[in-house]
Amino acid sequence: MTLPRRAHPRPLDLKTGRVDLTHGGGGRAMAQLVEELFIKGFDNEALNQRNDQAAFDVPAGRMVMTTDGYVISPLFFPGGDIGSLAVHGTVNDVAMAGAVPLSLSAGFIIEEGFPLADLKRIVDSMAKASRDAGVPVVTGDTKVVEKGKGDGIFITTAGIGMVPAGVVISGDRAKPGDAILISGTMGDHGVAVMSQRESLGFETAILSDSAALHTMVAEMVAAVPGIHVLRDPTRGGLAATLNEIASQSGVGMLMEEALVPVKPEVRGACELLGLDPLYVANEGKLICICPEADAETLLAVMRAHPLGVDAARIGACRADTHHFVQMKTAMGGMRVVDWLAGEQLPRIC
């Protein structure tokens, strides 16, 4: 007599269950977690092969690869969660080379005792973000660490993408005279996350800007293949990212504070928190540095895209042996916009 064979007699208790060490142990419990949560959630051809690696064909040409760890706290914040962030962040890192993202991998490090319901919520959000972006999660890994050895859940995603022929976008290509554009308001993500942290206890209507920028980038690259630099101002915000580019490219920059769009409620929250919006993280914005002649075209392309309606030109690159990023302040004085110096900011990405 043969009974119909079910791999797992009882389905995962997604309402009240918790992750325990067996879920990372390589046994049946782990197989069940992978099956019922990850494969079901991400559902795509490569992943469904259930191998330890994904096999797929890639077009010929120049490929980019990136990886990023996500350790954000809190895990859920207004406008997103660690799952959507882990997709958007890595898709954007691929896109900032002007590349078309092809696929992602995802590694989960989960702390023993983590509620399965939260895990499902994160995986579902991640799956949705990946579907919306059209970039599948094709392979993954799960580890469970003992209670106290992690903070809920950490996710690492890697991504690959193909760069269209003739496109060379890199942080070391900014030239004196180039225009500096940004795709929208600064500081939304960081403020949204920080407003959620209890010790700062204040409520705002600010949503994280977490979004995948690759479709906008594709349109920008199609319009102006000669873009010099693209980068998303995440940790350290606009200030840190401009400084990175300035030192990579060996140029100085001059920007104007009054030209940098910041939402009034973000400005207000920053005021309360003693932060400068220029240093607050973004997860759905990009900086574009291009020849002055292409600036207007690119601004128009960005503004026509839903993720770039507030795009603005904020300044220009210039020759400067010190590689200073300088800013004319809203008051009309001049200052340096420096790197962030070891500030004790909470984990926001």
Residue with smaller CB distance to other proteins, 62 or 318 = 318
* CA–CA distance, 332 with 204 (Å, rounded to integer): 30
Question: By CB under 8 A, is residue 336 in contact with other proteins?
Answer: yes
Q: How far is the CB of 79 from other proteins (least distance, A)?
A: 20
**Tokens 């050895």, residue?**
149
Among 5, 6, 10, 322, binds other proteins (CB under 8 A): 322
Name every residue whose Cβ is closer than 8 Å to that of residue 6 and which is 6 or more positions away in sequence.
none
Question: By CB under 8 A, is residue 264 in contact with other proteins?
Answer: yes
DSSP 321: T
* CA–CA distance, 314 with 43 (Å, rounded to integer): 42
Q: How far is the CB of 100 from other proteins (least distance, A)?
A: 38
Residue with smaller CB distance to other proteins, 59 or 264 = 264
Question: By CB under 8 A, is residue 331 in contact with other proteins?
Answer: yes
Residue with smaller CB distance to other proteins, 28 or 347 = 347
Beta bridge partners of 50: none
Question: By CB under 8 A, is residue 73 in contact with other proteins?
Answer: no
Q: Which backbone phi and psi does 138 adopt, to 5 degrees?
A: -100, -15
Judged by CB under 8 A, the number of residues near other proteins is 25
Of residues 269-308, those binding other proteins (CB under 8 A)? 271
* CA–CA distance, 104 with 53 (Å, rounded to integer): 12
Question: By CB under 8 A, is residue 341 in contact with other proteins?
Answer: yes
Question: By CB under 8 A, is residue 148 in contact with other proteins?
Answer: no
Largest CA distance in the chain: 87
Name every residue whose Cβ is closer than 8 Å to that of residue 330 and which is 6 or more positions away in sequence.
257, 258
Question: By CB under 8 A, is residue 319 in contact with other proteins?
Answer: no
* CA–CA distance, 268 with 310 (Å, rounded to integer): 19
Give contact residues for other proteins (rule: CB under 8 A).
199-200, 258, 264-265, 267-268, 271, 322, 324, 326, 328-336, 338, 341-344
